[in-house]
Structures are given as C-alpha cells and as structure tokens.
Structure 1
Amino acid sequence: MYKLIAIDIDGTLINDRKELTNEVIDAIQSAKAKGVKVVISTGRPIGGVLSLIEELKLNEEDEYVITYNGAVVQSTLTNEVISEVSLTYQDLKELYELSIQVQSPMHFFDSESIYTPNKDINKYTVHESHINQVPLHYRTIDEIPEDMLIPKVMFIDEPERLQKVIDAIPNSFREKYAMVQSAPFFLEILHPSVSKGNAVKQLAEKLSIKREEVICIGDGENDLSMVEYAGCGVAMGNAVSSIKEAAQFETLSNNENGVAYAIEKLVLN
C-alpha cells in the first residue's frame, strides 16, 4: 500500500490555465481519507504554494511541503523548517560572474523575496515574482548581506537563447552545483546535494515510510530525481521523455486531470 504521494505543481497538479480542478481536489482528499500523506514538491518558493496548500487542506498536523526543488522542507502547519540546504554569498558572487560570462540574466531568492542584480529586469523575473506572489527587488551583488541564505539561483532567457547559455557553462560549474532546467526559460542552480528526490527521501525517512510505499508524480526535468527515487514513479501524459522513461506508470496530461487519474488507479482502487 502506498503511504506518501509527492506531487509537482506546474504541468502536473494544475492545468495549463493554472487551475486546480475539482477532480484533482477530490482525488487528493480521498487519498488523505485513506491515511496517505500528500506532499507538494515544487521549484516554487513557499509563497507560491500557500494558496494551493490551503485549497487542498494540506496544512494540518504532521503535513509538509518541499519547495525550491528540494532545498527547503517545512511543516505546513507550524512553518518549522525540517531541512534547508542553501547556497552562500560566495556562491552567489561566482554565479553572478558566470551569468556575465555566458550573457544570461539571473535572479535569486532568500526565504521571502526574489532579487535581481540586472538593472533591466527580465520579463521572466517579473513572471516568477507574480506567479509566486513574492516581492521583487533590484539589488547589486555588493548590496546583498553576506550572511543571506540563498535556496536557489536562476538563469533566465528566451528558450532558444537559454539553451546556448546552458551549453556555454563550463564543466567546473556543472560539477560544483546541481543544475536543472525546470522550464524552457528557467535554469535553476542549487547546492549540489539538493534535489526533489533527496528531499522526498529525507521526508519519507522522517515519517518512517519505505521507498516502495512512495509515489512521485511529475512532468519536467526537475522532477526526474523524485520519479527515479519513488517506489512508483508517475509520468504525466505531457511529461518530457526522460520522465516517461524513468516512470513505472504514465497517467493522463495535466489538462486531463492526470493527477486524479493516477491516484484513482494506484491508491483508491
């Protein structure tokens, strides 16, 4: 029997209109009624998840959320941080210099806000601030406090331009950091030990849940580590090929209530 379901948001939990449908809500509530833990696992910051947590009633005792692609795991009831693995100010300086070298706009987060050192603020930075409902600040690197904890840095650009940026990143940086493309216009850069898979594993161990009792559902490259970790990895019908290859079960797309279909087939029946 499955005891934990970890679910990505964008392209997975919600449809392309950014809606959480009644079918998905009902399936998650039915899984909860059977005693299954349901955990949102996302690249978003906590501010971009709160409305979904409330709507899904995932803010009760002993419930958790995974944010920043696994950099932070926290209680949804008390906000107590269970684990946090961040980049340092020195990392930020190195990555800023890299962004200049590869000619990519960038932004980064602390626990409450999004920051950009680029005076001409990129439209995808504005989009990220808006969709996650977090304040956006322009700051030079010299204005950033040296003790700031930074869950993730993002390089951002038009999809065809971003691929050239990725190709230009030296291997030394690929070896030093975890890098994952979460959208055609987003490259996320994190501490090397950070991944959704590691975060789900830590949470499962905390809850004394075995790997084979875990379902992970996702669609993008940043979901690959948790789909590979899960006892049952689930690929959305709209997932990239690497997710479909790694998964044990393929569900319908996010526009066809794929999360609800997977829960009904794997948990409720």
Structure 2
Amino acid sequence: MNIIFSDIDGTFQDLGADVAQINIDAVEALQKNQDKFVFVTGRGLEMVEELQEGSGLACDAIFANGAGLKKVGQVATYQNCLSIDTLERILPIIDAENILYFVHTTHEVLMHPVKQYNENLQNLRESLTYMGEQGISLMDYKTNYFEESCYHVTDIVAFLREHPDRDILKVELMEASDTKHQLLREKLKSSSVTVFTSFVKTLEIVHPLSSKGSAIQNYLKDYTDVTSFGFGDGENDLPMFEVVDVAVAVENATEHIKQSSHHQTVSCQEGGVGKFIFENILLHEQ
C-alpha cells in the first residue's frame, strides 16, 4: 500500500485558485487502487472540510500543522496543544510589535476586532502587489475571513480561561515586514514553542511536538508494509520530508525544500501532485 501525504496551500491548491483537476483525479484513482491520500496542512479543520466538500474528496486530514487529526467517518482528535500559560507569555510579545494574529482553538478562531488591524491589512496588501491579481485575491479572501469567520474578543487569554473546554491548536500571524518576522522569531524562541513560516507573509507558533512529521509518524503506526510519500512547498513541510520514504517538492517550493526532497514535480498551479502520482506511483503499479 502507498500512503500519500500532501500539504494543501501552495502544493495541492494554488493561492486563490481552484484545485487542479488532475489532483482531484489522482486522489480518486489512488483510492480506487486501495491506496490512501492524506491532507497534511496548517489549515484549521473547517477550511480543510470546505476544500473536501468543494472538490468532492473524502480523505483523512492532519490539520493545524499536526495538532489535529480527522479520519473519514470519525470525530477529530487533538494532541500537543499550546497551554494558556504559554499563550499568556507569547501574546504580549506579539502585541508589543503591533502584529496581526489569530488563535486557532478546537471551537473557533479567536482574534481582536479587525478594525484594530486596518493599517496592518493595508501594509500586507501593499507588500503583495508583486503578486498582481493573485495578491489582491489573497488579501480580499483573508480580510473577509478575519471579518466574517473569526470570533472577535478584546482579551483572548481571559476568554480562554473562561472557556476551559477549548484546546489551543496554534497561533498564526501575518506581517508585511520580513524584518519583523525575524525579530519575532528571535523574541519567541524558547523550549515551549516552535515558530516557522507556513504561508505568504505568515508565521505559525505551535507546541514543539506539534509538527507534520510527528503527526505522520503517529498516523503510520496503524499501518504496516507501506510506502509513504510526502508533497510540500514550504518550511513547515520539512518535518514531513524527514519522516516519509519519498519526499516530493513542487516546482514553486522554496529552495530549501527542493534541496531536501528526493524528487521534484511541476508547480502547484500545473497540478504537480496529481502529475507525479499518475506518472510515478500509479503507473508503476499497473
């Protein structure tokens, strides 16, 4: 059996675009062949389920960069979440730099009122002008997400202390300045969190044991005699590449990811995941 693990944003689905049809066809062909396809993503569960519904795909999903697992037909499970005490330590550091951030929990995505971040959003929009229409679409989507999909509170820590049923999956932030990105990495560096790049102008903060790599290792404990493949494009995919048998980078991946891969395929926009599956996995099984 083959088990294929794939990142979503920038790997399986291009920014602001529909999923390439060859990717959908490849997943369906794998499943007919009794192989498995698993999404491994920094997205929250709601956004993964939106993708699956829109593409008609029913797959297991490792989400929130390893903190959550949702198998088809089962309830989601969570592990290696952040503590409120950790949140109480790191959020003032981010607030002091006036950076837009949002906190993913098992129930909702929390953030301060969006009007607090109007200048941040404008700076982000200007920083993405090099992407043309794609950058505009991305910021339109993100702004709408912040306004319509997030739950707005003035004191995130206080809210979570009042609602102890919430597990804290990760903190995600968006910032136009690359200098501030590096500054935050230095200020947040500790044994209680891991910080990495996951998306355009985005940093994520997670529990040190919450990674795509550790989540995949746990997932594979239920299977024997399998060959595992991992598809990715960014820094948060490196832990996945370290544990799968075959690591594949799409053409638009960062240079570090490409150098850490065993194979490369065409870009996300061209359906690199599906093309590799058809030409290098399914073809060899016929």
Moved over 4 A (4+): 55-58
**Structure 1 counterpart of 2:211, one-letter code:** S
Q: How many pairs are equivalent?
A: 260
**What residue is the counterpart of 1:78 in the other structure?**
74
**What residue is the counterpart of 1:137 in the other structure?**
152
**What residue is the counterpart of 2:93 in the other structure?**
98
**What residue is the counterpart of 1:41 in the other structure?**
40
**Structure 1 counterpart of 2:61, one-letter code:** V
Q: CA deviation at 1:225?
A: 0.7
Q: Judging changes above 3 Å, is the alpha-carbon distance between structure 1 residues 142 and 14 closer, same or farther for their aligned structure 2 residues? A: closer
Q: 1:179 aligns with which of 195, 210, 217?
A: 195
Q: Judging changes above 3 Å, is the alpha-carbon distance between structure 1 residues 182 and 162 closer, same or farther for their aligned structure 2 residues? A: farther
Contact 1:115 1:139 in 2 (8 A): no
Q: 1:115 aligns with which of 94, 97, 110?
A: 110
Deviations 1:73-110 (A, max 9, x none): 122322242x4221111111111122134443322111
- Confirm or deny that 1:229 pairs with 2:243: yes
**Structure 2 counterpart of 1:150, one-letter code:** I
Equivalent position SS for 1:268:
helix
Contact 2:94 2:184 in 1 (8 A): no
Contact 2:28 2:57 in 1 (8 A): no
**What residue is the counterpart of 1:154 in the other structure?**
172
Equivalent position SS for 1:144:
helix
Q: 1:196 aligns with which of 181, 202, 212?
A: 212
- Give unpaired runs (5+ residues) of structure 2: 125-138
Q: 1:250 aligns with which of 243, 256, 264?
A: 264
Q: CA deviation at 1:14?
A: 1.1
Aligned-partner Cα distance in 2 for 1:237–1:182: 17
TM value normalised by structure 1: 0.87
Q: Give me the identity figure in percent.
A: 24
- Give unpaired runs (5+ residues) of structure 1: none
Q: CA deviation at 1:113?
A: 1.6
Aligned-partner Cα distance in 1 for 2:158–2:149: 19
**RMSD, matched Cα:** 2.5
Aligned-partner Cα distance in 2 for 1:248–1:95: 36
**What residue is the counterpart of 1:6 in the other structure?**
5
Q: Judging changes above 3 Å, is the alpha-carbon distance between structure 1 residues 105 and 15 closer, same or farther for their aligned structure 2 residues? A: closer
Q: Judging changes above 3 Å, is the alpha-carbon distance between structure 1 residues 128 and 248 closer, same or farther for their aligned structure 2 residues? A: farther
Map residues 252-267 of structure 1 onto 2, 5 A cutoff. 252-267=266-281
Contact 2:181 2:203 in 1 (8 A): no
